[in-house]
Structure formats: C-alpha cells, structure tokens
Structure 1
Amino acid sequence: MRRSRRNGNGSRNDWDERSVSRSRSRVIRSGSLQGRSRGLNGMGISNRVAVGILCVFVVVACAAVRAGSATDEPTFPSWLIADDPGDETIRYFWERADRGELDATGLVDLGTLIFDRGHPDEAIDFYKQALKLDPEMYEAWFRIGLVEHYRGDLNNAEQAYSRCLKKRPGHAWCNFYYGLLEEELGHTTKALEHYEQAFQKAPRLADPAFNPEVMSSRLALGAWLRHYDQDRFDQNIPMRYLRPDELNEVRKSFAGQAEPDPAPTAGPDPEPSAVIAAPMVQPTPP
C-alpha cells in the first residue's frame, strides 16, 4: 500500500506540487547545461574543421611551390654522379649554359651529351635553345629528328628532318634517316629518293661497316645498286677517240714536249684499247 507523504499542516496535494516544481527546475537546469555543452562541442568541431582546412591549404600551397620550382629548373643535375668524368663534363657545360656562356654549337653538344646519358627530353630542350641563338643551325634540327625518331614519334621526326634539309639539302646523314623514316611509313618512292641523295653525297653510308643501320632497310640496297650502277656506267662508258695518237701529240705540244705532227690523210680504224682516259668527277663528301 502506497503511503502519501505529509509535512506539517500541508496536504498531500501541496507536497506533490512542490515535488513537481523541483523536478521541473532540475529538468530546466539540466537542459540548459546540455544546451551549453552542445554549443561548446559545436564550437570545438568548427574550430577543428577550420584548422584542418587551413592545414590542407598549406600543404597544397607547398606542393604547388615545389612543382613550380621543379618545372622551372632542369631535372638532369639530380642524376649526375660525382667524380664520374662523363657526368662532370655534363655538369660543367650545364653550369656554363645556365650562365649564358654557350653558343649554339655548345648547346647542341650539351644536348647530345645528355641524350647519350639517357634523357631525351632535356636533350631536345637544349637543341631548341641552340635554334633560338642560331635559327640556321640545321644540325640542331637533325638531332631533334633523331631523338624523336628514336622515341617513335615519326610525325615530329619527319618535321625536324624536313627543316634540316630545307637549310642544307645535301645533308647525307639526314637524307639517310629521312629515308628510313619514309620506309617505315611505307612511302617507297620518297624513301628511295632520300637514300639516293644520301649515297650520292656520302657513298660510305651504304657500307654496313661504317653505317650498320643500313642493314635495317630493305630499300637502301636497291638505292645503292642504282647509284653504283650509274657510277660504274660513268666510269666504263666506251667513249673512245677515233684518232688517239693525233690527240696525244697535240696534248704533248701544249705541255711543251714537242710540236704536233700534221694529221695523216688516212689511216686504219683505231684499236679498241687506244683510248685516252678522261678524269671522272668524284662525289663530294657530306
């Protein structure tokens, strides 16, 4: 049996009202404290989020600065080996190039050193710097073509070879590699034309001992045979003199050896072996 609590003269209802009032006060105070706690927690979360965003921004900014500095500076010094003669040579010329002390030829040589070291991108950069100093530096275009050809970018290689030959059409090596490129593209006629130009200017390019790359071509041998046949035809063409003795006498007279004898009124046909060798014009070197 539940008992009702009474206090003095107060009734049960008065006690219940006081209990309810005290309970409400506790609830109100508790709610107020909880609200304050939630407000403080919200402020803490907001501060942490703000700090986190600031940290992310700082990291991104630092990364951007590093990326910008990496783009502005050449990358090849990082792989240079100290006390290695080849790498020290690269370092020496790179430092001179950075100070603006190299001319176009020096920049081309530096690019070739770097390409031999295995960095084609940086090599092309220096070849292009050489062209800025000397737009007529056809050798820089040829080297750009070689590097692009090496990397398999035939379109850029073709453009570079073409620019080289525009400045020096008789560049034997460029004609040869342009022929290789045209052969790779399936342009047989153009390839043969470039091979013939190359072998005409530098016959040694057809010799595998001098130019092993000629063995990779199916058309180069045909171009060389055409050139060889023409050369052999020129050397062995049977343009013989009909009166070789008379011509020899006249030639001797102009050399101060003797007076020419009167021409005979008649005589037998000359023997096939009675000829005066005519000097042949040799191909010019590349």
Structure 2
Amino acid sequence: MVYIDEVEVDQEGIAEMMLDESSIAQVARPGTSLRLPGTSQGGPTPAIRLGLYREAEKQFRSALNHQEVVDTYLYLAKVYQRLDQPITALNLFKQGLDHFPGEVTLLTGIARIHEEMNNISSATEYYKDVLKHDNTHVEAIACIGSNHFYTDQPEIALRFYRRLLQMGVYNCQLYNNLGLCCFYAQQYDMTLSSFERALALVANDEEQADVWYNIGHVAVGIGDLTLAYQCFKLALAFNNDHAEAYNNFAILELRKGRIEQSKAFLQTAASLAPHMYEPHFNFSILSEKIGDLQSSYTAAQKSEDAFPEHIDTQQLLKQLRQHFAVL
C-alpha cells in the first residue's frame, strides 16, 4: 500500500502564488515593488518623459534657486537640448562652471554640444580641458583621437587609442579605429590584426557592417579590388542601409561595366544619406558620361549643396553650364 504525503496534494494558496520568486516582475513599476523603492529607479523626471519641457524647466529653475547642484544643471541643459536651444544650454553649462570650476561633467556637456553643432575645434579644446581635470576620461581621449585622425594626423590619433587600450578599454569600436589609424600611419603589420580583433568583438550587425566596410576601404587602398568587392557585399549583407558601402560598391560595379547597377546603387546611397556629397557627385559624373546632362546637372547641384568647397563639383557644373549654353 502506497501512502501519499498530504503536503504534496495541498493546494497552493493565492498569496503564495503571487509572492512566488518566479512570479515577481524583474523590472518593477516605481512605488509598487517590495524589492526596489521608487527612488532607486533611474531615468528622466516625469515631466521630461511626458514631453512637458517647459514645466520641467520651471521645476529645475526652482531647484537651482533653492540650491546649486551639478545634476540640476545637467538636467536643465538636457531640457534645453530637447527644445533645440543649444546656445541656451551652453550658457547654462558655463553658468554652472562659475559655481563649480573644473567640473568634468559640465565641461563634457559643453564639448558634446559643440561636437553636435559640428564645431569640432571648440569641442576638442573643451575635451582637452576635461583631460586636465580627469586624465582617464575615456570619451575625451576617444574624441580627441578621432579629431586628430580626421585632420590627417593618424600617428597622433594612434597614441590616444593605444592609451585607451592601456586603460583597459576593449571593444569593437576601439580596434576598428586602431585598424584605420595603423593603415593610414603605414603600420600595415597591425592593420589586419586590429580588424580581426574588431570582428571578434562585434555586438550587433551594424558594427559588423562598419568593420567589413573599413576592411574594404583598406583593400581599395592596397589595390585588391576583388577583396574590396567581397567586403562591401558583406557590409551590405549585415546592414542594408549602409550608404557608404553602396557608394563604393557602385564604383566597383562601374569598373566592371555594369552601368545600370552602378546607377541604382548610387541612387540608393544618395537617398539613404543626402548629406553626403560623394553619391551625388559620382552619379553626376556617370550621367554626364552617358549623355544624361539634365540628371548630371541636378546631381551636381546636390553635391554642391552638400559640399560647397568641392573643386571637382564646381568644375563639373561649369562644364555643364557651357554645354547648356551651346545648346
């Protein structure tokens, strides 16, 4: 005769079910959790979450009148950035620096706004001020290194990125930038190994596409167009909205004589990134060669709007205007 323990057939009460460990939500609503108090929940204030920026501005201004706190300056500056008032945010940060001289978070906020406004030189100066007060600030080191790279100083940029490696930063973006710096600094032995490390550390498809695009760019630089073709195809396989890869892929297709495919890729690149001048200029050149002068002129005007100082675009427009004058 088999006896069944009474505990096994006992019905579980509703209280035990509700308080079961596996039934408790991992992300609690503020004020309703027994685990996490509402004050521990990070994020913006309710007014910002609801889009009530003017109401949030009043509250933060009132808080500043009662007590000067760095976090209040940061939140109020965020409100002005959401309201598309970067100059007001800059003035607020500078006002905060008067009360808290050398505060790294305020200096970083000023540098970020200058960078978003494409005022790279001013942003770099503020990032240098950040490093004077905190010489391990990862964002400042990375941004200064990026500025040196884009001002044709890859050797100096390499020093900043190596500094990040010494500090223990270990991610895909860093090795990706290291690979490009090594290539342009003619340290070819480290270029591909850096990209291999970057590929091993990718976290999503967009990063994968960027790494393959940069490898393709290096392949174009050394003249291996077959490798470049495959790399750009891989970049587009991982990110179908990669405008730069479409542009370069179109040029390689044009070298193979596939004019229609090249035009399609250039049009795709121009639609994905209208701020880039390269797709517009390349499409203008291609249209001019096949005799479509009107399309060439329209694309050249878009290229000039994106990059007014581009000499080749100016020469092409001058040549097209001469053609139209003769007609």
Short-chain TM bin: 0.3 to 0.5
| TM-score, length-scaled by structure 2 | 0.37
Relative contact order: is structure 1 or structure 2 higher (C-alpha 8 Å, sep ≥ 6)? 1
| TM-score, length-scaled by structure 1 | 0.41
